[in-house]
Amino acid sequence: MARPVSHQKILQDLLSLVQEHLFESQSGMDAETDLFEAGMESMGIMQLIMQIEERFGIVVSDGDVTRQNFRSVAALAAMVERLSTSGE
């Protein structure tokens, strides 16, 4: 059984993932930055889904891929937490 991951750890992991893989360490980005305004496009969403599924061991369904769930790192963290607990 996987050990629960804290909300803060999920936020940090996702922020790091987004900065390193999607926006190349864009400065000034935080958990509330609007990812769409920062330039995220459909290819970035697909890459992000693959990274999230691999890193957190969850499945992001088509129904979870909404603008609301992907609008910020904070929204992504909430989705990851929800999907992590719903699989138990």
Mean pLDDT confidence for 41-51: 93
Q: Cα dihedral sign for 30, 34, 40, 44?
A: positive
pLDDT in tens, 58-82: 999 999 999 999 999 999 999 999 9
Distance (Å, whole) CA 55 – CA 68: 21
**The two structure tokens encoding residue 85:** 């607990």
**Tokens 């996702």 map to which residue?**
14
Whether residue 48 contacts residue 79, with contact meaning beta carbons closer than 8 Å, is answered with no
pLDDT in tens, 7-28: 899 999 999 988 887 777 566 7
> What are the structural domains, with CATH classification, of the chain?
7-86 (1.10.1200.10)
Provide the pLDDT for residue 47: 92
Provide the pLDDT for residue 1: 40
Distance (Å, whole) CA 70 – CA 3: 25
